[in-house]
Structure 1
Amino acid sequence: MKTTATYNYAFWNTMRGKHDRPSDMSEGGNSSGYVVPSEFNEKYLKTLEKENVFRRLATTIDSSTNEGTINVITSIGSAQWLKEMTAIPESADGFKQISANSYKLAAISKIKNSFVGDNNFNIEAYLENEFSRRFGRAEEDAFINGTGIDAPTGILHATGGGEVSVTTEEGVDLSYDDVIKLYFSLKPEHRRNAVWLMNDETAFYLRTLKDANGNYLYNSVDDTILGKPVYYSNYMPSIETGKSPIAFGDFSFYWIIQRQPLTISRLTELYAVNYETGFLGFERLDGKLIVPEAVKLIRMA
C-alpha cells in the first residue's frame, strides 16, 4: 500500500492538513504517525547518503522486528581444487549471532502555516532535506562515537568498535611510519575494499607528511593514501592524547539495522500559537561493527 499512488497522494494531503479517506492511510499508519511513501523514502535515503558517510560505506539491513538477534557471517571458507570422485571438504564459514536493538532517533521540523497550505510550496523536498540533514548528522556521530546505550555502538567504542593496532610513542607526533603500520595491520582480505576515515584537521596534518625521499604520504590529486580513498567526518576526533584520530578498514562490516523507516506525524496544536505546524519525524535503528578486525585504529599515547 505504501508504494501505491493512492497512499502517496493521501499521505501528502494528510501532511498539509487536508482530510482524506482514513482507509487510504491505514496500511502505513500507527499510533506514532505514518510511514513515508516508498517513492519519498528512496529520495530521502539518497539525500541521507550525502549527509552521512556511513550510509555510503556501511551495509544496511532491513528488519521488521523491534529487537532480537541477527545471524552474521564472521569468516568465509575457500574453494579447493579436487581430483575426480574426491569428497568435497566442508566449508570453513563462521557464524555468530549479534543482539540488535531498536534505538529511536527523532526530530521536529516546524513550518509556517502559510507555507503548509500553499500548493506551490514543495513540502516534500523541504521535509526530505530537513530530516536527511538532521538524521544524517546524528547517525554519523553515533556510528563513530555511539556508546550502545540509547544509541548505536560506534567504531571507536572500547569493546564494540574497531581494533587498536597502532599506538604512537608518548610525546611523539603522529608519523609517516605510524600510518604505514596501520595500513599493514589490516588483513589483506579486509584491505582490498578498505578506506581511511578521519576529520579535516587530521587530513590536513597528513598532507604534510613525507617519506625520506620527500614524497608526500597523501595523494592530493585523487584524495588517497597508499592508494586507498580518504573519507572525512568531523565527528572523528582530532590528534589528541588518548584519542583515535584515524580509522582504516572495510566499513561494509559495519551494519546499520533499520528497524523502522522514516515515519512522520503532523503536530497541529503544539505550535498553533505561532501559526506553525510541526512535523515529528523518527526512525528506529541500530548499528554495530560485526567484525571488529575489519576496522583498525591508531591510538595517540
Structure 2
Amino acid sequence: MDFQISTPNSAPIADEAMTESFDIVARQDKADTAIKGLRTDVDEVKARLDKVSRAAARPVIGNAEGNLAQSAEVKGFVDGYLRRGRESEIKSISGAVPQDGGFAVPREIDAMIASELKEISPIRQLAQVVQVGSAGYRKLVTTGGTASGWVGETALRPETATPEFAEVAPPSGELYANPAASQAMLDDAAFDLEAWLASEIAMEFARAEGAAFVGGNGIDQPLGFLSSPTSLAGDVVRPFGSIQYIGSGDAQGFSSTPESRLIDLVHTMKAGHRQGASWVMNSATLSEVRKLKTTDGAFLWQPGMVEGQPDRLLGYPVVEAEDMPDIAADSTPIAFGNFKAGYVIAERSATQVLRDPFTNKPFVHFYATKRVGGQVLDSSAIKLLKIEA
C-alpha cells in the first residue's frame, strides 16, 4: 500500500525562494552599477585635480584685478591659437587678422616679455622708454633752454627771447623673433607655453635691440648713441645732437694716468645729469678698468658691498653691455651718461605673434614682431671716451 504525503504550501515556498534569489541578483547588479558609477566619478575628479595642479604649478601672470577677463583672454590665445591654431577663439579679443601680421598678444604675456627684456637688455634698463600707439614718435626740445628771469611783484614782465626748438624723431624698425616648438610640446598640457614663448621672444629681442641701441645705423632700426655725431666741443658750443668725447691720451689704449682722463670725463657732464649717471662698457674693457690704480696704489674700481648692488667706478655704477667696442685705436669703448635723460626708446606696446605650422614641419614657428625706435634725446647727458692721442 503506497502512501503519498501532500504539502499544499510547498509551491508558494519555492516561488518565494526564487523571487528572493532574483531580488538578490537585481540588488547585486544595482550595487555593481553604482560602484562602476562611483569609480567613473572618482576618475573624473582625479583628472580634474591633476589638470588644476598642473595649471597651479605654472607662474601666475596678470594681477589680482579682473582675473576672470584676463584668464579668459590668455586661455583663448594660448590654448586656442598658440596650441591649436584656432583663430576664431581670439578674433573677438585682439581684433586682428593674419594679413595684419599676426595677433596682438594679451597684456599679461606682453608684460612678461617686457619684464624679461628689461632684465637682460642693459641699455633698456638705463634709457627712457615711452609707449606709442602709432609707428612714430616725435618730441620738440629746446636747443638752448627757455629764457627766464626775476622781477618784482608789480614790475612789468619783459619779453623773453624766443627759444629755438629741434625735433627728435627716433628712427624705428620692425624687431622680430621666430622661436619654434614641436607639436608634441604644444599638445602637452604641462608644457608652460606662455613662459617659454615670453622667454624666447625676450632673449632674441634683447640681443637685437642691445646692438641697435649702441651702434644702430638708424636705417630700419634705432640710431645707436655711438652712431650719433661726436665732437670735442663743450655743451655750450657743440652742435645739437652731437655727443662730446675726450681722448684717452694714447693712440692704442689708456695713457699712463688713466684715472685723470676718467675724472675729466665725469666732470664734462653737468652736475644735474651726474646724479643718475652710469658707466657703460663691455666685459673686456671692464677687465682692463678693474686693473687701473691711482698713484697711491688704490683701485679705481670698487665692488658692490651688498648683494644686488652694482659695482662702481669713481663712485658711479658700472653696467656691462657686450655690444660696446673693445679697446682699440679710434674706438669708443667707454660711455658715461645719464641715459634716462640722454637716450629715448620709443616702442609700440603690442607684440604681434603669427603662428606658422607649415614652413618647418613638424615644428610650429611663432613669428613675433614689435616696432622699436631709439635715438639720443639730450646729447649733453652722454659722454664718450675715445682711444686717441
Q: Same fold (TM over 0.5)?
A: yes
Q: Which consecutive residues of structure 2, in runs of 5 or more, have no partner in the other structure? A: 1-65, 230-240, 306-310
- Give how far 1:104 is off: 0.8
Amino acid across the alignment from 1:125? A
3-state SS of the aligned residue for 2:95? helix
Q: How does 1:85-96 map to 2 (within 5 A)?
A: 85-86=154-155, 95-96=165-166
Amino acid across the alignment from 2:354? S
* C-alpha distance 26-195 of structure 1, shift in aligned 2 (>3 A): closer
3-state SS of the aligned residue for 2:214? helix
3-state SS of the aligned residue for 2:138? strand
Q: Is structure 2 residue 389 aligned with structure 1 residue 282?
A: no
3-state SS of the aligned residue for 2:351? strand
Q: Is structure 2 residue 74 aligned with structure 1 residue 8?
A: yes
Amino acid across the alignment from 2:326? S
Residue 135 (structure 2) aligns with: 66
Amino acid across the alignment from 1:14? Y
Among the aligned pairs, what percent are the same residue?
27
Kindly indicate whether the alpha-carbon contact (under 8 Å) linking 2:171 and 2:218 is maintained by their aligned counterparts in 1: no
- Give how far 1:79 is off: 8.2
Q: Is structure 2 residue 269 aligned with structure 1 residue 200?
A: no
- Write the deviation string for residues 185-204 of structure 1: whole angstroms up to 9, x where unpaired: 11212212111000111111
* RCO comparison, higher one (Cα < 8 Å, 6+): 1
CA distance in 1, matches of 2:156, 2:117: 49
Q: Is structure 2 residue 92 aligned with structure 1 residue 24?
A: yes
- Give how far 1:96 is off: 2.6
- Give how far 1:65 is off: 2.1
Give the alignment's TM-score, normalised by structure 2: 0.70
Residue 324 (structure 2) aligns with: 236
Kindly indicate whether the alpha-carbon contact (under 8 Å) linking 2:85 and 2:355 is maintained by their aligned counterparts in 1: no
2:251 aligned to 159, 166, 170, which one? Answer: 170
* C-alpha distance 228-26 of structure 1, shift in aligned 2 (>3 A): closer
Q: How does 1:143-222 map to 2 (within 5 A)?
A: 143-159=213-229, 162-171=243-252, 173-174=254-255, 175-222=258-305
- Give how far 1:95 is off: 4.2
Residue 383 (structure 2) aligns with: 296
* C-alpha distance 35-185 of structure 1, shift in aligned 2 (>3 A): same
Residue 7 (structure 2) aligns with: none
3-state SS of the aligned residue for 2:220? coil
Larger radius of gyration: 2
Higher strand share goes to which structure?
Answer: 1
* C-alpha distance 67-221 of structure 1, shift in aligned 2 (>3 A): closer
* C-alpha distance 115-92 of structure 1, shift in aligned 2 (>3 A): farther
1:250 aligned to 338, 360, 375, which one? Answer: 338
Kindly indicate whether the alpha-carbon contact (under 8 Å) linking 1:239 and 1:245 is maintained by their aligned counterparts in 2: yes
Kindly indicate whether the alpha-carbon contact (under 8 Å) linking 2:353 and 2:369 is maintained by their aligned counterparts in 1: yes
CA distance in 1, matches of 2:326, 2:93: 48
Structure 1 window deviating more from structure 2 (20-29 vs 245-254): it is: 20-29
Residue 109 (structure 2) aligns with: 40
3-state SS of the aligned residue for 1:156? helix
Kindly indicate whether the alpha-carbon contact (under 8 Å) linking 2:336 and 2:382 is maintained by their aligned counterparts in 1: yes
Higher helix share goes to which structure?
Answer: 2
CA distance in 2, matches of 1:65, 1:96: 21
- Give how far 1:70 is off: 3.0
Kindly indicate whether the alpha-carbon contact (under 8 Å) linking 2:91 and 2:97 is maintained by their aligned counterparts in 1: no
CA distance in 1, matches of 2:97, 2:140: 30
Residue 227 (structure 1) aligns with: 315
* C-alpha distance 23-109 of structure 1, shift in aligned 2 (>3 A): closer
Residue 208 (structure 2) aligns with: 138
Amino acid across the alignment from 2:245? V
Give the aligned CA root-mean-square deviation in angstroms.
2.5
CA distance in 2, matches of 1:237, 1:197: 11
3-state SS of the aligned residue for 2:196? helix
Amino acid across the alignment from 1:210? K
CA distance in 1, matches of 2:322, 2:262: 19
CA distance in 1, matches of 2:211, 2:271: 28
Kindly indicate whether the alpha-carbon contact (under 8 Å) linking 1:110 and 1:276 is maintained by their aligned counterparts in 2: yes
CA distance in 2, matches of 1:215, 1:92: 50
Give the alignment's TM-score, normalised by structure 1: 0.89
